[in-house]
Amino acid sequence: MFLPLSASLASSPVAMAGNRTMHAVQYDTYGGGPAGLKHVDVPVPSPKKDEVLLKLEATSLNPIDWKMQTGMLRLLLRHKFPYIPGEVIGVGSEVKDFKAGDKVVAFLTPHTGGGLAEFAVAKESLTVRRPPEVSAAEGAGLPVAGLTAHQALTQSAGIKLDGSGKETNILITAASGGVGHYAVQLAKLGNTHVTATCGARNIEFVKSLGADEVLDYKTPDGAALKSPSGRKYDAVIHCASAMPWSTFEPNLSSNGKVIDITPGPRALLTFALGKLTFSKKQLVPLLLIAKKENLDFLIELVKEGKLKTVIDSKHPLSKAEEAWAKSIDGHATGKIIVEP
């Protein structure tokens, strides 16, 4: 369904944006890190027939944002320059079948980006309503990090989040990060025992999310991913950077799976070898496929107080470089938020 914005929402803030320009942050070549970001005034984007125009209230950064800027994903995810990053999220007011003034959360595709700006367009098919109980920043964390945690647990690891299903031992690495902190909370909605890894400073934090046991990744047992209670993992939601298969293998149950959300060449080789040899222990690469119904489900959990977005830091759009640098640094606890 499509309602042309300019006609249907004549009195809305979005429609009033009309031929105006907006402040945005973009880059026009690969590389450069935070210094490669430019503050520009560009026309407010026009929604295509299946898109909604959003006035952004909060955007969250994800590692994929700066990884795309480095060019490392250029074979996988092509985008035209100049590129306004933030393929991740948009949280805004109004639009569409969605009426003017509605609060929403949207997943912005990596191909178009658009999150570091005052306005952005999003596919209606990836836009959901945001109830008043969920703040813009809390909503903004969900579209990439929350959906990735949800997909890894439900689709890849087969965990039922209503608590049914047999007890499953799960390891979540980098449990303090954007994806990991959602994964711990969601996993505990299922019938699971959760072991988690994080840095020493975040051990109490990760316990507070519900983890049953927590390992400091800088200790020998933490680096070896060894469960303090001697459990073997049925599933590992691997959110930390690459680790050799030989680190995972001795810790897995006989049918254990490692769901690798950042699969590099070695992980893909392990995946292929596992298939060729019919190995019961498997590495499963994950690529997020965003689904509206799953985003709705997560928003509902936040509304009910069963899931929270922990905010590492908030940065104004005028200082987007600081948020960018923080994401590159790789030490966020929860989500990095940018607010226009």
- The answer to whether the beta carbons of residues 83 and 27 sit under 8 Å apart is yes
* Cα-based distances in Å from 127 to 22, 92, 100, 119: 22, 10, 14, 15
Q: Looking at beta carbons only, is 150 or 193 nearer to ligand NAP?
A: 150
**Encoding tokens for residue 226?**
């060894």
Per CB under 6 A, 25 contacts ligand NAP: no
Given 261, 290, 302, 337, the residue binding ligand NAP (CB under 6 A):
261
For residues 82 and 68, is the Cβ–Cβ distance under 8 A? no
Binding track, positions 228-257, relative to ligand NAP; x by CB under 6 A: -----------xxx----------------
Q: Which residue, 117 or 172, is less far from ligand NAP as judged by CB?
A: 172
When asked if residue 185 is in the footprint of ligand NAP (CB under 6 A), the reply is no
Number of chain positions touching ligand NAP (CB under 6 A): 31
- Of the pair 22, 310, the CB lying nearest ligand NAP is at 310
Quick one: which of 109, 227, 262, 313 contacts ligand NAP (CB under 6 A)?
262
Closer Cβ to ligand NAP, 192 or 333, answer by number: 333
Output the smallest distance, CB 181 to ligand NAP, in A: 8
Residue 300 CB, shortest distance to ligand NAP, in Å, is 21
**Residue 322 Cβ, how far from ligand NAP at the closest point, in Å?**
15
Contact 74, 107 (CB under 8 A): no
Per CB under 6 A, does 301 bind ligand NAP?
no
| 53 DSSP β-pair partners | 121
Q: Is 119 strand, coil or helix?
A: strand
Question: Can residue 211 be called a binding residue for ligand NAP (CB under 6 A)?
Answer: no
Distance separating alpha carbons of residues 263 and 93, to the nearest angstrom = 35
Residues 6+ apart with CB under 8 A from 204: none
Nearer to ligand NAP, 16 or 268 (CB): 268
Vertex 211: Cα angle to 314 and 217 (nearest 5)? 75
Using CB under 6 A as the binding rule, the residues of this chain from 3 to 22 that contact ligand NAP are none
- How far is it, in rounded angstroms, from Cα 86 to Cα 141? 12
Distances (CA, A) of 60 to 20, 101, 154: 25, 21, 23
Side-chain-facing half-sphere of 325: CA atoms under 13 Å: 8
Binding of ligand NAP at residue 287 (CB under 6 A)?
yes
The correct pick among 108, 126, 179, 337 for binding ligand NAP (CB under 6 A) is 179
334 exposure class (CB count in 10 Å sphere: 0-12, 13-18, 19+):
buried
Q: Which helix (H) or strand (E) holds 319?
A: none
Residue 286 or 307: the one with the smaller Cβ distance to ligand NAP is 286
- Rounded CA-CA distance 308/156 in Å is 22
Please identify, using beta-carbon distances, which residue of 47 and 86 lies nearer to ligand NAP.
86
Q: Which two tokens stand for residue 119?
A: 């306005």
Binding to ligand NAP (CB under 6 A) within 74-133 occurs at none
Of 59, 60, 127, 176, which one interacts with ligand NAP (CB under 6 A)? 176
259 binds ligand NAP per the rule CB under 6 A: no
45, 180, 274, 340: which one binds ligand NAP (CB under 6 A): 180
Q: Which is nearer to ligand NAP, 91 or 261 (CB)?
A: 261
In the bound state with ligand NAP, the residue whose beta carbon lies nearer, of 16 and 242, is: 242
Contact set for ligand NAP, span 136-175 (CB under 6 A): 144-145, 148, 173-174
The 10 Å CB-count burial string (b at 16+, else e) for 178-190 is bbbbbbbbbbbbb
Token digits of residue 65: 């944002």
Helices and strands in the chain, H and E counts: 12, 15
Binding residues for ligand NAP (CB under 6 A):
62-64, 67, 144-145, 148, 173-174, 176-180, 197-199, 202, 217, 239-241, 261-262, 286-288, 330-333
